[in-house]
Amino acid sequence: MTETVPTGSSIPHNTGARVELAPEAFPADSPFANEDLRPVPVAERKWTTYNFAALWISMAHCIPSWTLASGLVALGMDWKQAVFTIALANIIVLFPMLATGHAGPKYGIPFPVLARASFGLRGANIPALIRAAVACGWFGIQTWIGGSGIFALGSKLTGGHWEDAGKIAGNPWPLWLCFILFWALQIAIIYRGMDFLRHFENWAAPFVIAGALVLLIWIAVKADGFGALLDQPSKLGWGSDFWPVFFPSLMGMIGFWATLSLNIPDFTRFGASQKAQTWGQALGLPTTMTLFAVLAVLVTSGSEAVYGEAIWDPVALAAKTDNAFGLLFALIVVLVATISVNIAANVVSPAYDLSNLAPKFINFRTGALITGVVGILIFPWKLISTPEFYIFTWLGVVGGLLGTVAGILIADYWIVRRTVLHLADLYTPGGRYWYANGWNWRAIVAFVVGGLLAVGGSYSAVGADGKKTGPFPVDGLIPFLKPLADYGWAVGLATSLLLYVALMLPKGKEQEGLAA
């Protein structure tokens, strides 16, 4: 069912309907509108179940996903505990993913435009810029990892000469060159647009799966079975030592994809139906991440049997081969795997988010270029320096803030508005979502309170050497909030959701668009 809705008309309460804004109803001259932010016409919403599943398969099959299990094992878990933690986290994060993704196929709008309904036309820049900042960080991390992979395999192909090259800022200059070239390749691909990205993800997904299976077969043949890693007992057990590590790790694993739980409308706006995005994501995300974690454990176990040490980095493991064809194949797999996740997860969103900041001056392509530049300036190599810093500091804090935003979006779209939005007003000053000069103070209050409870108690543990493992005080930024820090994503989501509903639905207020 398709509804063409002129300005000011009502929208049916049929959540299965796909709503379209009539061309003459779109306020193109509004300072809050441009072609990249306008609703996608129904005729152009073509992504199928396979497209969404392929998107998730190609995004999940990346080097950071592979090494998530290694980070958890380094913290003392055995492989079963690590895989369980990863699987549970991705099942949990799937629910907000589907909840926020619903608005995409129905209305054809991206994440920052959806956020206008709750935060206001101007206030939406707060969640948009937070999401953009996180994406820029992730873009830099993935680009550094991909460039490092190219350097490692290229150095192997050249007989190790790259390792001996002159150094710049402590690293061989070919490593910096690989980093910059890989950066430029990704920017060039995203400049081709979203339809090109869809085609790229379609063939990247099966290719990367094939590459991972080839790696498994190769190491299984060399190992004549698998090594002792699968038999290693947990250093934590399942008692009192396990749970203090499990919960912050679970929040960190949720934080790994918490970014996409916000901006998934950036992709589902191209969905052919709700069924396509629901089944595509349900089949693509939790299953792929769990299987990939198991695959990583099996391959790493085999590496221990062959080389006497557990090699969690698939690039380092592939570099062990002396076969030139094998190295080239591994290099291509690393390229495709990293590009597919980095562009989809970390360039599309900030491109829209930055466009939302100044629609008349920043379009999708300009936003993508800004993302790339900021991704270099945040020094991504420092964000992944240790497992503790990566999982607890980066993923944990990011997850707490993003969970807070997700709670407000879900509360507004599903509870306050019952999935009913008025499209033209999402672009029009003075409309339903203008609130107080473009700001909804209720959403701001819910965000501040939820974010404070989620990350206010952030703390750093003390390592075996007696030094802090992160940038926060040992007792927490706000000591009495420290007990909540290990549950940041859940605390932020639940607090902001409940508080927002309480503020938006007092007795006597209308359900659809409140005046300030």
Give per-residue pLDDT as tens, 480-508. Answer: 998 888 788 889 999 999 999 999 986 43
pLDDT at 445: 96
Whether residue 516 has pLDDT greater than 50: no
Torsion of CA 58, 152, 64, 351, to 10 degrees: -60
Residues 410, 56: Cα–Cα separation, whole Å: 22
29-43, 64-78, 308-322 — most confident range: 29-43
pLDDT at 391: 53
* pLDDT > 90: percent of the chain: 25
Residues 336, 147: Cα–Cα separation, whole Å: 12
What is the CA angle 303-307-309, rounded to 5?
A: 75
Whether residue 358 has pLDDT greater than 90: no
74-88, 114-128, 248-262 — most confident range: 114-128
pLDDT at 384: 62
Query: Is 278 or 16 the better-scoring residue by pLDDT?
Result: 278
Q: Please tell me the least confidently modeled range out of 97-111, 178-192, 209-223, 318-332.
A: 318-332
What does the pLDDT average to over 77-104?
A: 89
504 within 8 A of 442, measured Cβ to Cβ: yes
pLDDT at 311: 79
Whether residue 354 has pLDDT greater than 80: yes
Q: Looking up tokens 């008309």, which residue turns up?
A: 9
Banded pLDDT at 71 (limits 50, 70, 90) = confident
Residues 57, 281: Cα–Cα separation, whole Å: 9
Banded pLDDT at 11 (limits 50, 70, 90) = very low
Whether residue 199 has pLDDT greater than 70: yes
pLDDT at 508: 37
Whether residue 342 has pLDDT greater than 90: no
Whether residue 138 has pLDDT greater than 70: yes
pLDDT at 173: 87
The CATH homologous superfamily of the domain defined by 47-399? Hydantoin permease (1.10.4160.10)
Whether residue 274 has pLDDT greater than 70: yes
Query: What are the extents of the domains in the chain?
Result: 47-399
271 within 8 A of 414, measured Cβ to Cβ: no
